[in-house]
Structure 1
Amino acid sequence: MRMIFVNLPVKDVARSKAFFTALGFNFNPEYSDDRTLCMIIEKNIFVMLLQEERFRDFINGDIADAMRAKEVLTCVSASSREEIDQMIAAALANGGAEWKPVQDHGFMYAGSFQDPDGHVWELVHMSAPA
């Protein structure tokens, strides 16, 4: 069974934990410490939020400044349109920023926000095919 680990640099692990906890995410304490958070997206999908100095241990070159340029768009499915609206509202109320307006394509409803480090998070709900 494959697993996915998305690794993102953050300036403040405690701030990131508070932000994503407010959005309803949980963390795996076995893979977390004072410089690293293992955020659980789904059974085999995780986002590693790494304090910048820890993130440097895994890369060559510079860390992209996500406030100025986008290095990745992380898209997570949602169970409903309401879940998307609620998560965006929670993100904005807890230090996140607006990204793009909500898009309603009938079969697909999508929204997005930026976390406090400027990373873009997209949310999408797709209706079952008719």
Structure 2
Amino acid sequence: MTLFVNLHVKDLPASLRFFENLGLAIDRELTGDEAGCVTLAEGASLLLVTEPFFKSVTGKDIPDTTAGNEVALALQVDARAKVDDIVSAALANGGTKAGEVQDDAVMYSRSFRDLDGHLWSVLHMG
């Protein structure tokens, strides 16, 4: 089974570059003019979909990510330093900081918003 998380984006090429600059792989076979596929992990991919195509598929208006969140996404990584690397790359490539660092005995996490305002947390457990 494979999970595809679909997110609407304003500028598909810019969004693909953003996620590629975070160290994620673009699946060129599943990328076209209206959607691009980013591999998150085995069996899980992010499908970046242009806003007009997203609207045609959902039949709904595009959520305003400046006013609220339609989803909150989290990536668990295997090292604390990877959290910092990914979030630093996100901020260096146009993402914005979201929330405060969580650092306790259970979890280390940091959050950012991508180019379209979608909320992401990157965390390391332990």
How does the TM-score come out when normalised to structure 2?
Answer: 0.96
State whether structure 2 residue 104 is matched by structure 1 residue 108.
no
The AA in structure 2 aligned to 1:125 is H
State whether structure 2 residue 75 is matched by structure 1 residue 76.
yes
Q: What is the aligned-residue identity percentage?
A: 37
Aligned-partner Cα distance in 2 for 1:67–1:10: 13
- 3-state DSSP of counterpart to 1:63: coil
Q: Hey, what does 1:125 align to over in structure 2?
A: 124
Q: Hey, what does 1:89 align to over in structure 2?
A: 88
Cα distance, 1:24 vs. partner?
0.4
Structure with the higher fraction of residues in strand conformation: 2
Cα distance, 1:35 vs. partner?
1.8
Q: CA-to-partner distance for each residue in 1:81-124, whole Å, 9 max, x for gaps?
A: 11001111111111000001110121211111000100011111
Q: Hey, what does 2:15 align to over in structure 1?
A: 16
How does the TM-score come out when normalised to structure 1?
Answer: 0.93
Aligned length: 126
Aligned-partner Cα distance in 2 for 1:111–1:49: 22
User: Which has the higher mean CA deviation after the structures are superposed, 55-64 or 3-12?
Assistant: 55-64
Consecutive unaligned residues of structure 2, counting only runs of 5 or more, are: none
Q: Hey, what does 2:52 align to over in structure 1?
A: 53
Aligned-partner Cα distance in 2 for 1:17–1:61: 24
The two structures, once aligned, show a CA RMSD in angstroms of 0.9
Moved over 2 A (4+): none
